[in-house]
Structure 1
Amino acid sequence: MLPTAARRSLAGLIPPKIATPGAVSSGTTSVRTAQVIDFYSKLPKGPKPASERPGGLRGRYFEGKNASGVPLLVTVGTLFLIGYTIDYNMHLKHHKSGHH
């Protein structure tokens, strides 16, 4: 992986102005290391509250107390019916010019 790609993927995890390599490697007694520890100790811990869960179809059908596989079954059934309808109509077009 390129260094820039690694840096971009970690950019959301480490605040750039607080946790610099110099601050982290300067020892555990430095003021900047204390700032880094203080920053991370204030972050929320544990699962997200119910109000912060994703909305829309995913939040409504696949997460929470109403979780079920019904949307997946409906999607498979709908695709089957569409495919069957297309196949049937193509078969009728085949018989239009005569029997096989």
Structure 2
Amino acid sequence: MLQLRPTCEHCDKSLPPAALDARICSYECTFCADCVESVLSNVCPNCGGGFTPRPVRPSKNWKNDNYLGNDPARTEIKHRPVDAAAHAAFSADIKAIPPEAR
């Protein structure tokens, strides 16, 4: 089950469960869309993968208790600002490769 982390790991922007600008990689590293585009060049600084919009968990119990009230978002913040220069060096060779081909 997705952790639904509460903030962008880089800029610490709040990303509540219904945030449409939350982005995740396949390891659930969580960043805001602005950081993914302007700082990270769609390259996860932790794994090198790409990002996708984070799904929004239903806020109402539509079926079988699969909703935010039963499976709440995480509250622990994981704030790990990215060193822009180090990330630029890391991502230089792979940012042109589509995420599905990395």
Whether the TM-score (by the shorter chain) exceeds 0.5 is no
Identify which of structures 1 and 2 has the higher relative contact order when contacts are C-alpha pairs closer than 8 Å and 6+ apart: 2
Please report the TM-score for the alignment, with normalisation by the length of structure 1.
0.20
TM-score by length of 2: 0.20
Bigger helix fraction = 1
